């Protein structure tokens, strides 16, 4: 930080290019692809389209949220499975749904420090490829069997097993400390914050309308690659398949609540869906970009991460992180030309907006004299958010950065604030600038 709260004007980290796959509902077009497959597709294509020679790259920071049991280091695989030179070092990070915000701030930090000149940041998620675990007893028996010396040893080990030990254990989207799923925690937020089903459905309908209009206007054409669909490769996935241009508040009102069937407000329509996809960015030092003749899409100006107790309102992290990121940027909410808030659930967006504008939250929780303020709806998620576009966990941050910077360019705007809530009651906020 500079003396007066503004960032040091040393080496700035520029985002010069970005790309994503279409985001598709789990179990559809990408069901035969792993996160590594999806990541490699997008990194490969991004490197080609960026026009940056592979030898210029020095690092990759990449993530996936659902761990793979067969590939433990997706970051390095993004080098080994693409045209990047083997000498490009790489690492993997996870910050749940804020993973590719983290990969981007990691890459930007390394650039600012002078440790890196040209980096790739991104994430991939294959929710269709979630590992199914064996029970502990079956796992222990299998390990013991591999060490058994005699037939009678083997027979004894196998005789320990009961039919229930063979039941597969599916992965859970549960918060380990509270035992609640994201959706259940979001229902608590709806109740505590007095957010109605109608308000949630309205936000969801707007997300679909805006995403669908953005596709129709061609805004996404240059940021979404096409993917030939395995195993036959006869079809090509060219667009997000979650977006429904015909979504209406009336149609959404018909859907049944899923996480609290009796009194709940959250439905398949006002929650982000389980999604497969990948997104990646090319970051460079400003000088490197200029020397290669590249026009930056924009720059990382400041960021902040925050956390609260998962027992409280799980997805309120953005309301804690955003004021710090704006302070670090030396800017206010009013300076922002765009605000892009990840939509895990409509209720989480509405809850965070409530806190952005709350004087008592600012005073009591943040110790600040004034709230951030109201977000102008005409600046918020203008091309749709995760409810309509989908949410492949680790890819969402990079999708938001790319989408926002390109929109900032179309509007000739200067600043944007991005926020993401994440498991563990984490929040991320990023301030981007153009020029």
Q: Per rule CB under 6 A, is residue 268 in the interface with ligand COA?
A: yes
Q: Is 249 a binder of ligand COA (CB under 6 A)?
A: no
Looking at the Cβ atoms of 53 and 172, the one nearer to ligand COA is 172
**Burial class (CB within 10 angstroms; exposed 0-12, middle 13-18, buried 19+) of 370:** exposed
Binding of residue 182 to ligand COA (CB under 6 A): yes
Q: How far is the CB of 401 from ligand COA (least distance, A)?
A: 17
Short-list 318, 327, 329, CA closest to 354: 318
Does position 419 bind ligand COA by CB under 6 A? no
CB closer to ligand COA out of 210 and 301: 210
Q: Do you find a cis peptide bond into 231, omega within 30 degrees of 0?
A: yes
Answer for which of 59, 102, 103, 247 binds ligand COA (CB under 6 A) is: 247
Residue 421 is a catalytic residue:
yes
Active site includes 97? yes
49/43 Cα distance (integer angstroms): 10
* Residues 357-416 within binding reach of ligand COA (CB under 6 A): 391
Given 97, 208, 219, 342, the catalytic residue? 97
Of 219 and 391, CB closest to ligand COA: 391
* 274 binds ligand COA, rule: CB under 6 A: yes
Interactions with ligand COA, residue window 32-71 (CB under 6 A)? none
Q: Which of 48, 148, 173, 199 binds ligand COA (CB under 6 A)?
A: 173
Applying CB under 6 A, the span of 84-92, 218-226, 271-279, 320-328 interacting with ligand COA comes to 271-279
Q: What are phi and psi of 224, to 5 degrees?
A: -120, 120
- Report residue 410: phi and psi, to 5°: -60, -40
Interacting stretch for ligand COA, rule CB under 6 A, among 71-79, 268-276, 353-361, 411-419?
268-276
Q: How far is CA 212 from CA 220, 242, 316, in A?
A: 10, 10, 27
> Is there a catalytic annotation at residue 91?
no
244 contributes a contact to ligand COA by CB under 6 A: yes
Kindly give, in sequence order, each residue whose CB lies less than 8 Å from that of residue 49, ignoring residues fewer than 6 positions away.
Answer: 17, 19
Cα distance between residue 145 and residue 141, in whole Å = 6
Identify which of 317, 410, 334 has the alpha carbon closest to the alpha carbon of residue 375.
334
In order of 232, 261, 266, 267, the CA distances from 187 in angstroms are 41, 11, 7, 10
CA–CA separation, 259 and 231 (whole Å) = 34
Query: Using alpha carbons only, what angle is made at residue 123 by residues 82 and 215, rounded to the nearest 5 degrees?
Result: 100
Quick one: 71 or 251, whose CB is closer to ligand COA? 251
- For ligand COA, the closer of residues 61 and 423 by Cβ is 423
Which one of the spans 216-224, 244-252, 300-308, 404-412 is the region binding ligand COA (CB under 6 A)? 244-252
> Quick check: 63 and 105 in contact, CB under 8 A?
no
Least Å distance, CB 417 to ligand COA, is: 19
E runs forming strands in 261-402: 275-285, 298-307, 338-341
Q: Which stretch binds ligand COA (CB under 6 A): 33-41, 246-254, 282-290, 304-312?
A: 246-254
Strands 426-433 and 298-307: antiparallel
For ligand COA, give the closer residue by CB, 391 or 406: 391
Name the one range near ligand COA by CB under 6 A: 109-117, 249-257, 281-289, 399-407.
Answer: 249-257
Residues tagged active-site: 97, 391, 421
In the complex, which residues of this chain contact ligand COA (CB under 6 A)? 97, 173, 182-183, 208, 244, 247, 251-252, 255, 258, 268-269, 271-274, 344, 391
């Amino acid at each position: 930080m500079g003396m007066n709260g503004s960032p040091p004007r040393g080496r700035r980290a520029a985002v010069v290019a970005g790309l994503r796959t279409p985001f598709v509902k789990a179990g559809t077009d990408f069901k035969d692809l792993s996160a590594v497959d999806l990541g490699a597709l997008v990194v490969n294509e991004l490197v080609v389209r960026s026009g940056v020679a592979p030898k210029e790259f020095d690092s990759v920071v990449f993530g996936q949220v659902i761990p793979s049991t067969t590939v433990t280091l997706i970051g390095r695989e993004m080098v080994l499975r693409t045209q990047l030179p083997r000498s490009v070092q790489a690492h993997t990070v996870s910050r749940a749904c804020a993973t590719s915000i983290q990969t981007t701030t990691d890459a930007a930090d390394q650039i600012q420090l002078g440790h890196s000149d040209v980096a790739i940041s991104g994430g991939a998620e294959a929710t269709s490829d979630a590992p199914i675990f064996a029970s502990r007893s079956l796992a222990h028996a299998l390990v013991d069997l591999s060490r058994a010396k005699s037939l009678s040893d083997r027979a004894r080990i196998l005789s320990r097993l009961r039919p229930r030990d063979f039941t597969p254990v599916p992965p859970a989207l549960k918060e380990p400390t509270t035992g609640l799923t994201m959706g259940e925690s979001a229902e608590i937020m709806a109740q505590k914050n007095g957010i109605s089903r109608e308000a949630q459905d309205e936000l969801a309908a707007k997300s679909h309308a805006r995403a669908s209009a953005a596709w129709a206007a061609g805004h996404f054409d240059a940021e979404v690659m096409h993917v030939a669909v395995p195993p036959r490769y006869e079809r090509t996935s060219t667009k997000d398949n979650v977006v429904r241009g015909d979504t209406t508040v009336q149609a959404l009102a018909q859907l049944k609540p899923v996480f609290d069937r009796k009194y709940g407000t959250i439905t398949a329509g006002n929650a982000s869906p389980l999604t497969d996809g990948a997104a990646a960015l090319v970051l460079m030092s400003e000088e490197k970009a200029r020397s290669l003749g590249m026009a930056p899409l924009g720059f990382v100006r400041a960021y902040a991460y925050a956390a609260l107790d998962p027992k409280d309102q799980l997805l309120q992290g953005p309301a804690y992180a955003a004021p710090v990121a704006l302070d670090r940027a030396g800017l206010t909410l009013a300076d922002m030309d765009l605000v892009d808030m990840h939509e895990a659930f409509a209720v989480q967006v509405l809850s965070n907006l409530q806190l952005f504008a709350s004087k008592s939250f600012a005073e009591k929780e943040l110790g600040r004299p004034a709230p951030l303020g109201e977000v102008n709806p005409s600046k918020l998620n203008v091309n749709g958010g995760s409810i309509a576009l989908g949410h492949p966990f680790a890819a969402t941050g990079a999708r938001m950065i790319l989408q926002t910077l390109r929109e900032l360019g179309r509007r000739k705007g200067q600043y944007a604030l991005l926020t993401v809530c994440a498991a563990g009651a984490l929040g991320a906020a990023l301030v981007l600038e153009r020029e």
